[in-house]
Amino acid sequence: MALILAIESSCDDTSAAVLENDCVRSNLIAGQKVHEMYGGVVPELASRAHQENIVPVVDSALKAAGIKSSDLDAIAFTNGPGLLGSLLVGVSFAKSMAWAAGCPMVAVNHLEAHVLAHFLQQPGERKEVPEFPYLCLLVSGGHTQILKVCSPFHFETLGTTIDDAAGETIDKAAKIMGLPYPGGPVIDRLAQTGNPNAFRLAKPRIPDLNYSFSGLKTSFLYLVRDRLAENPDFITENQADLCACIQQAVVDTLLDKLIKAAEKHHIKDIAIGGGVSANSLLRNRLESCGREHGWRTFLPPFSYTTDNAAMVGIAGYFKWQRQDFCPLDTVPYTRQGR
Ligand code: KG4
Ligand code: ZN
């Protein structure tokens, strides 16, 4: 039996979780309101907020799990990719705590953590998990990839964005409409009452299993700019339709390549992960695609879609099982580098 403390601090959420093997005993997240007024994450403010949050968040996670730091078998932490200043807070904290508690450390890749979140279990419940190899559409604020997950340690990138990420595109569309950051949840809510076919947006056409979202973003920007010139109230009068259109364009693009990947690789266990996997249209459409194509689909519970430490804990648990520990001089990395 392993008790693992996990720490996530790669962007603007400070999170700590305690896992007993693959089972979540606690998972706490402190968000950072400080970025709202800037319309995006300000890295320097993010690291300062992590410094303020990390001690109370870790403390609360241990208390909620009913354990002390001396009970821990390992400390897992996100080592990258992410914002350097943010990562440094979590990594430095994990190192000092592991040293003080005399337990080993496990370095976790943030993207792999999103992809492995499907293996998290809740106390008293055993849910179905994907079988290897499965496909995972990883859609977050900074990444859009189709991964073939061959084992918890072996990932093949089948497709990736050549420019913007899906979440970034949605966030930028929200910004163009003057909506608050992050735009994803707001667009998701407003789109519920909109007509997804009200406006025509450019659909990306690029080869292979790769994605491109910059053309869609520009097409949205030009649509809004041109219509605003004719009618200054264009955004307020058409907010729901605009949200529904951009959301549908992003989801169509994502699923189009995911279907191609599943067919090409003959894989029928299909998962999604990352912040955008909270999107209601993407979730509904994935389920209907699953029925149509005979897939088993895996949607993460909402609490494990956006950044959280429980997913770092499960990736850490897999590594702990093979005693894959890291030394005290481990340094974080900002870019993918898996
Ligand atoms: O995985 P995540 O929390 O952070 C990164 O690792 O980047 O993803 C954040 C992204 C943001 O772009 C946010 O707008 C998007 O996830 N997001 C959503 C929804 N909830 C969060 N996008 C669409 N619909 C949602 N319901
Ligand atoms: Zn993330």
The helix (run of H) or strand (run of E) holding residue 27 is strand 23-30
Q: Please give the number of the atom of ligand 1 that sits closest to the Cα of 306.
A: 3
Q: What's the N-to-C CA distance of the chain in angstroms?
A: 28
With the most atoms of ligand 1 within 8 angstroms of its CB, the residue from 140, 164, 217 to mutate is 140
Residue of the nearest CA to atom 14 in ligand 1?
184
Q: What mean pLDDT do residues 247-259 have?
A: 98
Which tokens hold the place of 192? Answer: 């519920």
Tokens of 217: 């973003």
For position 338, what pLDDT does the model report? Answer: 45
Q: Ligand 2: distance of its center to the CA of 185 in Å?
A: 15
- Tens of pLDDT, residue by residue over 304-338, are 999 999 999 999 999 999 999 999 999 999 987 54
Mean pLDDT, all residues of the chain: 96
| 301: CB partners within 8 A, 6+ apart | none
Least confident stretch, 23-37, 195-209, 276-290, 317-331: 23-37
Nearest-CA residue for ligand 1 atom 23 is 184
Q: Write down the pLDDT at residue 170.
A: 97
Report the pLDDT value the prediction gives residue 175, as an integer from 0 to 100: 95
| Ligand 1, atom 7, residue with closest C-alpha | 141
pTM: 0.94
- Look at residue 151 and tell me whether its pLDDT is greater than 90: yes
- The CA distance from 58 to 16, in Å, is 5
Beta bridge partners of 72: none
What are the pLDDT digits (tens) for 114-133?
Answer: 999 999 999 999 999 999 99
Count CA within 13 A, CB hemisphere, residue 318: 20
Q: What residues are in contact with ligand 1 under a 6 Å CB criterion? A: 11, 140-142, 167, 170-171, 182-185, 188, 274-276, 278-279, 306-307
CA 274 – ligand 2 centroid, Å: 5
Q: In whole angstroms, how far apart are CA 71 and each of 6, 68, 96, 163, 323?
A: 14, 5, 16, 45, 18
